[in-house]
Amino acid sequence: MDGKGAGRNNIFIERFWRSLKYEEVYLKAYDIVTKARSSISKYINLYNSGRQHLRLDGRTPDEVYFGDRQTTRAA
């Protein structure tokens, strides 16, 4: 934790890890590493580009981060 406000920055990643564990990992109890990697990758893509977040005013993290650049890339 270096820099002003760094302690609060950790809240976002902690929330992501909590969501990942409770909504994906704990529910599926993977038996093969390749299945775990594939499934977790799909979840992360959904979390970032397909799932609207209340805290982000109903936008996805990709929309907030990339803004108009993402729509340009998709075209």
> Is residue 54 domain-resident?
yes
CA distance 54 to 70: 20
Please give the tally of structural domains in the chain: 1
Q: Give how far the C-alpha of residue 60 lies from the chain's centroid of Cα atoms, to the nearest Å.
A: 9
CA distance 61 to 19: 14
Read off the pTM: 0.68
Across the range 13-21, mean pLDDT stands at 89
**Residue of higher predicted confidence among 68 and 72:** 68
pLDDT over threshold 60, residue 73: no
> Is residue 1 domain-resident?
no
Per-residue confidence (pLDDT) for residue 2, from 0 to 100: 57
β-bridge mates for residue 53, sequence order: 59
Tell me which H or E stretch contains 72. Answer: helix 68-74
Across the range 47-64, mean pLDDT stands at 85
> Is residue 46 domain-resident?
yes
Per-residue confidence (pLDDT) for residue 22, from 0 to 100: 94
> Is residue 27 domain-resident?
yes
Give the structural domain span for 22. Answer: 6-74
Q: By three-state DSSP, how is residue 51 classified?
A: coil
